[in-house]
Amino acid sequence: MKMLSSKQQQILSFMRRFREGKDYPPTVRDILRGCGISSTSVVDYNLKILEREGYIRRDREVSRGIEMLDKTQRRMVRVPLIGYIAAGEPVPVPTSDTWEAEPLDTVDVSSELVRGKEKVYALKVKGTSMIDALINDGDIVLMQQANTAENGEMVAAWLKKDGETTLKKLYRERNRIRLQPANVQMKPIYADPKNVEVQGKVIGVIRQLSTS
């Protein structure tokens, strides 16, 4: 990986600036003008080097086919916010149209959090009943649609007999299910498998502190 010449750095920095204002990448001739270069072949020459060195990717024969590979833009995922989660009622479960129709509200999340998972949705926490899962009133819980879960995964579990939703780590034991709170100071509860209904997996939590 060689050093970049000052012209190449200038081109990269111009492309970054260009994308601040526009929604599309610059053309070769945009770069020419923006960097005070006097020939398109010079731009092309340097773009080829930038591509070889891994700074950009080019789609040949495509206008504005320059993609900046470095930092500039990691992706963001738009997750539908489909309802509230509270102790006394089952959590809203996404339906087929959740993924198709335009959702009522959405939450933007960095793709690292979602890690390419499918069928991810968000719920807003209502009340402080999830305190033992280290989740507060107003937090956003990122969920993945699921009816079952592996040992150790955090799930939203509906305890039928108790009529209660709880967020716990799930472990299957001989003939019972152990639900372990996230708070290590608290003790697990045990339940009959028939009494536990997995409503989704918890994959993340987002909390915004109010500035009040």
Partner DNA sequence: GTCTCAGTAGAACAAGAGTTCGAAATTATC
Partner DNA sequence: GATAATTTCGAACTCTTGTTCTACTGAGAC
Task: Indicate which residues carry an active-site annotation.
Answer: 129, 168
Q: How would you list the strands of the sheet with 140-144, edge to edge?
A: 105-110, 76-85, 120-125, 140-144
Sites for DNA among residues 50-89 (CB under 7 A): 58, 60-65
* Contact between 15 and 26 (Cβ < 8 Å): yes
Sites for a copy of itself among residues 118-157 (CB under 8 A): 128, 131, 134-136, 150-154
Strand partners, 167: 156
Q: Which of 33, 40, 48, 76 binds a copy of itself (CB under 8 A)?
A: 76
CB closer to DNA, 63 vs 73 = 63
The residue to which tokens 């086919």 are assigned: 65
- The reply to whether 187 sits near a copy of itself by the rule CB under 8 A is no
Structure tokens at 123: 């719920």
Structure tokens at 78: 């738009």
The residue to which tokens 């072949």 are assigned: 41
CB of 22 to DNA, least distance (A): 11
- The reply to whether 7 sits near DNA by the rule CB under 7 A is yes
User: Residue 71 is inside which H or E element, if any?
Assistant: none
State the virtual CA torsion across 209, 129, 145, 160 in degrees, nearest 10. -170
Sites for DNA among residues 8-47 (CB under 7 A): 27-30, 37-42, 44-46
Residues that bind DNA (CB under 7 A): 5, 7, 27-30, 37-42, 44-46, 49, 58, 60-65
Residues that bind a copy of itself (CB under 8 A): 22-25, 27, 59, 62-68, 71-74, 76, 78, 107-110, 112-113, 115, 128, 131, 134-136, 150-154, 182-185, 202-209, 211-212
